[in-house]
A = this chain, B = another copy of it.
Amino acid sequence: MTYDVASIIASDAFKKAQFILREQHDLLVEQIIELTEIPAPPFKEERRARAYEQKFHDLGLEDVGRDDIGNVLGVRRGRGNGQMIAVAAHLDTVFPEGTDCSVRREGTKLFAPGVGDDTRGLAVLLAFIRALDGAGIETEQDLLFVGDVGEEGKGDLRGVRHLFTEGKYRHQIAGFFTVDGLELEKVTTTAVGSYRYRVAFRGPGGHSLAAFGTVNPAYALGTLLEGMSRFEVPEEPRTTYCASTFGGGTSVNAIPEEVWAEIDLRSEKQEELDRIDAQLHEQIERAVAKENERADTSNGPITADVKRIGDRPAGGTPHDTRIVQAAFAALPAFGFEPTTGSSSTDANIPMSLGVPAIRLGSGGTGGRAHSVDEWIDVEPEESLRGLYAGLATILGTAGMAQDA
């Protein structure tokens, strides 16, 4: 059994796995197209999940099924003691129901919403399983393959959160890969945490002329926004805030009864996230108090209703962990120059819990993710280079039997 990436890459078994990945690259492309064309809007991943589950079955994984939240799970047993390395890609896309998901092909380029984020990732997991099986590779730790729900936006990482808080393997997962996005050189080892809010200020409303002088929730919103623009945040750890979407009021000649804003707070460090979170709450209170002091509350005061609509914990994976070391050994072997980076992905959850985790790209190139013009290039040489590096990283983390 070895965890040494150089030895793994040098082995005949790994070479055979590479051969299979190359031989079956067309099948990878076919499966990218097939899965991309099954829409998976936020909270509506089920159709794609069913298709993906069937593929896990067909590949002969064990314990294939969907958990209570809708994640597709399948186990490839190792030799070891039942500890697991999870390898996940997310089923959901950002695109709403009704978006045309048909794939247009131009040469080696595929154009479609979600084709790279993260449908290529889903198909790459299947390619890995075929290569491991075809090369007869045994790992030390079990590999838990996961097609998870709810990575994007309001999904709020609910699939992987469930996996680590309620899922039946939660105590066994010792390492976690999210194969998400294309790009491999930047290995995500820092989880940007975020809190998201819907803040609604409410008041009694009234006619703009007849009730003039009455508290107006719009001015409380104004105080909140004006105050937010003066929030101080560190550059390191990177910490940000954004007042994003707005609404409220019914008519130009009426004091609004409600105005609302959605707000996004982020930080690479949980302490900073909590610090700016406290600033926001203080500013909301100040805004309410100021308007109630300024104007007439005899028909009722301004109140604030603060709903947390997103909660992604910050966290990080130390650089001396096996998973990061494996990536930094495997990537250069295939011509990549790895650096570490921060982002907000499914890996936030394990990182926040102290489970070593990284985000790894699925390889190839592309662009315009989260837009309907999203595209990837599946030109085989570049695409395969990414697959080799990814598989070597996984094997360097889960351990490979040397007699294989």
Contact = CB atoms under 8 A, between A and B. Distances in A.
A254 interface: yes
Interface stretch (A50-58, A78-86, A214-222): A214-222
> How often does this chain occur in the complex, in copies?
2
A244 B240 contact: no
Contact of A222 (B154, B216, B222, B249): B222
A219 B208 contact: no
Interface string A249-267: 1111111100101111010
A153 interface: yes
Interface in A204-220: 208-209, 212, 216, 218-219
22 contacts: A196-B252, A209-B238, A209-B266, A209-B344, A216-B229, A218-B243, A218-B261, A219-B226, A219-B228, A219-B243, A221-B225, A222-B223, A229-B291, A242-B254, A243-B256, A244-B249, A244-B251, A245-B250, A245-B251, A246-B249, A246-B259, A252-B263
A225 B222 contact: yes
A107 interface: no
B244 A256 contact: yes
Contacts of A223: 222, 225-226, 229
Nearest to A227: B222
A191 to B, nearest CB: 12
A266 to B, nearest CB: 5
A32 B378 CA distance: 72
Interface in A87-137: none
Contacts of A252: 153-154, 196, 244-245, 262-264, 309-310
A192 B210 CA distance: 11
Given A208-B244, A229-B222, A264 B256 contact: no
Interface of A: 153-154, 192, 196, 208-209, 212, 216, 218-219, 221-229, 238, 240-256, 259, 261-264, 266, 291, 294-295, 309-310, 344
B209 A192 contact: yes
Interface centre among A224, A227, A248, A261, by most chain B C-beta atoms within 10 angstroms, is: A261
Nearest to A94: B251
Given A251-B153, A310-B252, A222 B228 contact: yes
Contact of A264 (B208, B243, B261): B208
Given A208-B242, A225-B226, 8 more contacts: A196-B252, A219-B226, A219-B243, A223-B229, A226-B226, A245-B250, A246-B247, A253-B264
B248 A246 contact: yes
Given A245-B249, A246-B247, A252-B264, A209 B310 contact: no
